[in-house]
Amino acid sequence: MELSAQQVADFDEQGYLFLPDLFDPAEVAVMRGEVPDIFAQDREEVWREKDGKAVRTAFAAHTYNEAFRRLAAHPRMVGPVMQLLHGSVYVHQFKINGKEAFDGDVWQWHQDYGTWARDDLMPEARAMNIAVFLDEVTEFNGPLMLIPRSHKRGVLAAGHDLATTSYPLWTLDRATVTRLAEDGGIVAPKGPAGSVLMFHSTLVHASSPNISPWGRTIVYISLCHVDNHIRQFKRPAWVAHRDFTPIEPLADDCLMQLAAQAAE
């Protein structure tokens, strides 16, 4: 998959691209079918909310689940990122964010590269996120909120919030978020399962708690240029990966191949 010149220009200007229906319902079904088993596992990669029950995020599922291993090397995921980052990439981080009905907690305003630079010593912001909606994302179930053009501000001052949620995060203060939003506004891409959202690693973003009766599961794959790999290894390898091997994209029908094998 290759982005058009207009899509590349839009990403450079706004800091994100939204691609509805990039994966069809059959492909989504392959991935969604794996989530309950992953969320039920009692393993360190599955991080829960403060209640100790609802899943906040399941890290590194691509290392122990075949469907998500294939997603991490899917050409519709890897191709556009290689195009935007001008070269080979590796998986820096892989997570399935639960945002469970009624119990999904807030993700505070932050920049992902802010964390990667401070905690992992990633040299430059030559990395980005690409997210796949496994559920329909609406205005009710905690959509991701983005501040367009905020990626142009570089790495912003942040505080290490260890108390608000179960997951430590480098967060921005209210004055900074207000100033950025007054300039760029706030958008919340919404759409059906199978939609894909790509955004720059310094784009400021957040999501509110999900108090609706509808869950919202999104897979986030953070890809980094292989020359820009992290230099510090203080976080667990299942949070910030240490395998910098360039991804070899699989066939475009790799998810359906898996479904066919399961049906045999």
Q: The whole model's pTM is what? A: 0.94
Instruction: State residue 89's pLDDT score.
Output: 98
1-13: per-residue pLDDT in tens?
899 999 999 999 9
Closest CA relative to residue 189, chosen from 169, 218, 166: 218
184-229: per-residue pLDDT in tens?
999 999 999 999 999 999 999 999 999 999 999 999 999 999 999 9
E strands, 73-116, where?
89-97, 107-110
Domains annotated for the chain, with CATH where assigned, are: 5-263 (2.60.120.620)
Closest CA relative to residue 96, chosen from 52, 48, 138: 48
Quick one: DSSP state of residue 156? P
Residue whose pair of structure tokens reads 């921005």 in the numeric block: 172
Buried b (16+ CB within 10 A) or exposed e, 109-135: bbbbbbbbbebbebbebbbbbbbbbbb
**Angle at alpha carbon of residue 94, lines to 90 and 98, rounded to 5°:** 165
Does 25 score more than 80 pLDDT?
yes
Closest CA relative to residue 110, chosen from 222, 207, 240, 216: 207
